[in-house]
């Protein structure tokens, strides 16, 4: 893997690249909310119905490094179910990498779900003393009392709003618990809602050298952002390996209607 744009850019494919250093720069100290996606060149977010159909060896390395540099990994309920999320299991080498960068040795998982469409019997919500409890970010109207009781045996349930999940409150709830470096792994609807809420600081996008063809969605989904020209991004880093590109974007704060890339309207989670 070679760095084409960034603080240590070197086009030599044989030069050594510290992937942790590349993604830790301007991240560990300020923290924020970072989103990670993989996409085909023609914009598909899945191949064969799952994101793993687009993954490359380089993307897998970036995926692991971004987790190594996070306090918490966040995903929507649909992604948790489709990708069969469980507790994050880290090798001794990755635990060492985390502690060397000032992060705790374990990485908790947080789920955002308005309707609490979650399986309490999932391994993710099974109580275990050797790992951190999962976190469920929902709203007061989400789920029955019995479902909440069962989920609470293996997860902390946090209401972030009355009938919808206020994503600004959700981010604040994680920050209050010491999770200042937040990694979101999707899905597309949650990413769109986070961007609409104005709480996304960084997008780490892997471009797989593949044309997936028609039929797949994009990395954002849901209703259009009315009256918005989009969210402006600044390219801060670029890596390449075997034709795959790994882009690191920072979001910009631009008044709505200022050129082609003003800010989307603030929003709330409208999905599951």
Q: pLDDT tens-digit profile of 84-142?
A: 999 999 999 999 999 999 999 999 999 999 999 999 999 999 988 889 999 999 999 99
Per-residue model confidence as pLDDT tens digits over 34-81? 999 999 999 999 887 778 889 999 999 999 999 999 999 999 999 999
**Sequence-ordered strand ranges (E) for the chain:** 2-5, 32-40, 72-76, 109-112, 134-138, 155-159, 181-184, 202-208, 233-241, 244-251
155 located within any domain = no
- CA-CA distances (angstroms) from residue 98 to 47, 70, 92, 106, 178? 31, 9, 10, 8, 15
Residue 251 pairs in a beta bridge with 233
266 located within any domain = no
60 located within any domain = yes
67: number of Cβ within 10 Å: 18
142 located within any domain = no
45 located within any domain = yes
Cβ atoms 57, 229 nearer than 8 A: no
73 located within any domain = yes
Cβ atoms 226, 265 nearer than 8 A: yes
31 located within any domain = yes
- Residue 69: give the domain boundaries: 2-85+164-251
Task: Annotate 48-66 with DSSP letters as a single string.
Answer: TTBGGGG--HHHHHHHHHH
What is the distance between the alpha carbons of residues 257 and 263, in angstroms, rounded to a whole number? 8
Number of domains forming the structure of the chain:
1
Write down the pLDDT at residue 272: 61
pTM: 0.90
246 located within any domain = yes
Which CATH number is 179's domain given? 3.40.430.10
Per-residue model confidence as pLDDT tens digits over 6-32? 777 766 655 678 999 999 999 999 899
What is the distance between the alpha carbons of residues 27 and 204, in angstroms, rounded to a whole number? 12
């Amino acid at each position: 893997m070679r760095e084409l744009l960034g603080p240590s850019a070197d086009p030599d494919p044989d030069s050594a690249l510290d992937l942790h250093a590349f993604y830790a720069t301007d991240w560990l100290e300020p923290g924020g909310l970072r989103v990670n996606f993989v996409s085909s060149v023609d914009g598909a977010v899945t191949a064969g119905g799952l994101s793993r159909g687009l993954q490359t060896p380089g993307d897998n390395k970036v995926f692991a490094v971004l987790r190594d540099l996070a306090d918490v990994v966040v995903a929507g309920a649909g992604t948790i179910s489709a990708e069969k999320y469980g507790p994050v299991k880290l090798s001794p080498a990755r635990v060492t990498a985390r502690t060397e960068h000032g992060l705790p040795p374990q990485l908790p998982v947080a789920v955002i779900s308005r309707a609490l469409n979650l399986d309490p019997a999932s391994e993710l919500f099974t109580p275990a003393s050797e790992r951190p409890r999962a976190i469920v970010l929902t709203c007061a109207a989400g789920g029955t009392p019995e479902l909440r009781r069962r989920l609470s045996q293996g997860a902390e349930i946090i209401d972030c709003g009355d009938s919808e999940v206020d994503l600004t409150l959700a981010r604040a709830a994680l920050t209050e618990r010491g999770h200042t470096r937040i990694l979101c792994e999707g899905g597309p609807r949650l990413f769109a809602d986070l961007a609409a809420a104005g709480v996304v600081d960084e997008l780490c996008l892997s471009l797989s050298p593949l044309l997936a063809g028609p039929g797949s969605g994009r990395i954002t989904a849901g209703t259009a952002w009315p009256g918005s020209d989009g969210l402006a991004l600044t390219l801060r880093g670029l890596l390449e390996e075997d034709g795959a590109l790994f882009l690191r974007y920072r979001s910009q704060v631009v008044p709505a209607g200022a050129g082609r890339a003003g800010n989307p309207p603030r929003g709330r989670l409208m999905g599951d």
